[in-house]
Structures are given as structure tokens and as C-alpha cells.
Amino acid sequence: MGLSVTSIVFCGAIFGFFYAWVCSTMWGLDHADPRTAIKAMQAMNASVRNAVFFPAFFLTPVVLGVTAAAMRFNGYKLPAFWFAAAGAVYLAFGLVLTLTVNVPMDEALAATVIPDDAETAREIWRDYSGRWQFWNQMRTIASGIALALAGYGLARLQPDRVF
């Protein structure tokens, strides 16, 4: 039971993390003074690289893969497939997408000197926020799909054989 529950918790944690950016954080920053939004985003991006974030972000596909392998090894091919699919979806459209799109955008924003002029800051923020939010929504949807796939895999297990 431990592996399957751990997989669900990891998927839920990363889905919730991305979802919070969708439904509150970015909307709030979009309504703030753009100079404040840039400074706040720079600070949040710098602080997210920590030991609390690391497991959910980097280890979710590992936990899903280990769960799938344990299930497969024990003859539960169909549940193993769903956990493996969850891992593949998150790996490609959560982790890799973040590392190839959102992180480079964040690094570019981190190197940006916040202008004193509000209109210039508004242009910088508008260019960053719209694109960043689109890709964040994509990784949020993917993480939600991964969570649903893992949940479906768990549901496919026999009640007396939960990993």
C-alpha cells in the first residue's frame, strides 16, 4: 500500500503546487504594480529551489516508476501500466516542460533589472506573465492527468493487494 499511496501523494503535491499558481498567485501578481510583480516573482522563483519542493518536483516520476515496476513484478500488469503512464505524462509535460520552458523564462526574469518606469515594467511583466501562465497551465493539466492516471491504477488493484 505504501508505494501506491506515496505515488498519489507525490502526484497530488505537484499538481496542487502548479494549480495554486494558476488560480491565485499569478492573478494576484497581474493585479499588482508590475515592478512589485517582477520583484515578487524573482523572489518566489529563487525560493522554490529547496528541500521541500525537491521531492514532489523531481521524485514524482521516480516514485511512479518504482510503483509501476513493483506492480508489474507482482503480476499486476494493468495497474502497473496506469502508474507508468502517469510517470511518463508527468515526466514529459511536467518536469521536462518546466525545465525547458518555465525555468529559462524564470532565469531571464531573474536577470532583469526592475525599471523605475511603471510602463516599461508593465511591458516586461505582460510579456513574461502571459507566456509563463500558458505553460504553467499546460504543466498543471499534465500533472492533473498524471494524478488521475495513478488514481485509476490504484482503483484497478484488487482490494486485498494494494502496494
pLDDT at 9 over 80: yes
The pLDDT assigned to 163 comes to 59
The pLDDT assigned to 85 comes to 98
User: What is the mean pLDDT of the segment spanning 13-39?
Assistant: 97
Q: What is the pLDDT of residues 29-67, one digit of tens each?
A: 999 999 999 999 999 999 999 999 999 999 999 999 999
The pLDDT assigned to 1 comes to 64
Written as nine digits, the cell of 93 is 509535460
> 95 in a domain, yes or no?
yes
> 161 in a domain, yes or no?
no
Written as nine digits, the cell of 162 is 494494494
Share in percent of the chain as helix, strand, coil (round to 5) = 85, 0, 15
Q: Which domain holds residue 111?
A: 2-155
> 61 in a domain, yes or no?
yes
Written as nine digits, the cell of 23 is 488560480
pLDDT band at 158 (very low <50, low <70, confident <90, very high): confident
How many distinct helices (H) and strands (E) make up the chain?
A: 8, 0
Domain count, the chain: 1
CB 93 within 8 A of CB 139: yes
Q: What is the pLDDT of residues 97-152, one digit of tens each?
A: 999 999 999 999 999 999 999 999 999 999 999 999 999 999 999 999 999 999 99
Name the residue type at position 60. Answer: T
The pLDDT assigned to 146 comes to 98
Determine the Cα–Cα distance for residues 149 and 111; give it in Å rounded to an integer.
38
Residue 75: left if φ>0, alpha if ψ -120 to 50, beta else—which one? left
- Of residues 86 and 162, the one with the higher pLDDT is 86
Q: With 0.95 as the threshold, say if the pTM is over it.
A: no
The pLDDT assigned to 43 comes to 98
> 98 in a domain, yes or no?
yes
